[in-house]
Amino acid sequence: MVRKTKAETERTRIGIIDAARRAFHEFGVSRTSLEKIARIAGVTRGAIYWHFKNKTELFHAMREQALNHTSQIKFDMLSEDVQNPLDAIERFLLELIEILKNDPSVRQIFEIMLWRCEYVGEFAPVLYEALRPRRDILSMLKIVYERAANRGFLRPALDPEVMAYDTMFFSTGLLNFTLSADRLLQAQESIRAHIALRRGDRRANDPSGG
């Protein structure tokens, strides 16, 4: 049974990526042999080497899945469909947590990237890539906080850039905590409080902007 149709071939590829994710999550990236991934996927190493050059490329293919899922909500932060830019930030953070809650595979990939991968050797460049979302979020936060300040939604005497850093640190820590402790309610309460801390007088007690 070889030489599948294109649809079957694609299913094999997806199956390998899926098996890799589960294996990486259970055994860690470096301790996961291609043989183990193959067994989980129900194929042999030959199939893996056909679809991917080596374990590193397979890892990258797996990572792209999570990126596709999360890149969209980042850019939603810049949209103008809420009056108060602070609400956009709040919504972004809440959606991030929501994704972790609803999509176990994305969550697994996040956990692999955080605690089951060693960023050395050929994986060293991956760390820079893994930190890219953080850089993106920071620059977007700067824009949105600036906008909030200009419109009087940000509490006076607060510097937009400094607030951007503070919220970026907050989101990193929140992500870590949520993944390790699985306290979704705590996360949501923390997000609302974090944003409320910097709301200006203009509509400090009127969160009906969303």
Residue number, 14 or 138, with CB nearest to a second copy: 138
Given 67, 78, 184, 197, the residue binding a second copy (CB under 8 A): 197
Task: For residue 24, count other CB atoms closer than 10 A to its CB.
Answer: 25
Among 50, 75, 128, 169, binds DNA (CB under 7 A): 50
- Cα-based torsion angle of the residue sequence 175, 177, 181, 182 in order, rounded to the nearest 10 degrees: -30
Q: Among residues 14, 43, 158, 179, which is the contact residue for DNA, using CB under 7 A?
A: 43
Q: How far is the CB of 12 from a second copy (least distance, A)?
A: 26
Distance of CA 67 to the CA centre of its chain: 7
- Report the nearest approach of a second copy to the CB of residue 82 (Å): 23
Q: Which of 149, 140, 165 is nearest to 200 (CA)?
A: 149
> Which residues inside 42-61 make contact with a second copy, applying CB under 8 A?
none
CA 57 to chain CA centroid, nearest Å: 20
Report in angstroms how near the CB of residue 124 gets to a second copy at its nearest: 9
- Closest alpha carbon to 171 in 100, 115, 105: 100
From the list DNA, a second copy, none, which binds 1 (C-beta under 5 to 8 Å, kind-based)?
DNA
Figure out which of the listed residues 17, 20, 34, 195 binds DNA, where binding follows CB under 7 A: 34
CB of 26 to DNA, least distance (A): 13
Q: Cβ 58 to DNA, closest distance in Å?
A: 10
**Which residues bind to a second copy, rule: CB under 8 A?**
26-31, 115-121, 123, 127, 131, 134, 158-159, 162-163, 165-166, 168-174, 176-177, 180, 186, 189-190, 193-194, 197-198
Q: Which residues bind DNA (CB under 7 A)?
A: 1-6, 8-9, 12-13, 31, 33-36, 38, 43-47, 49-51, 54-55
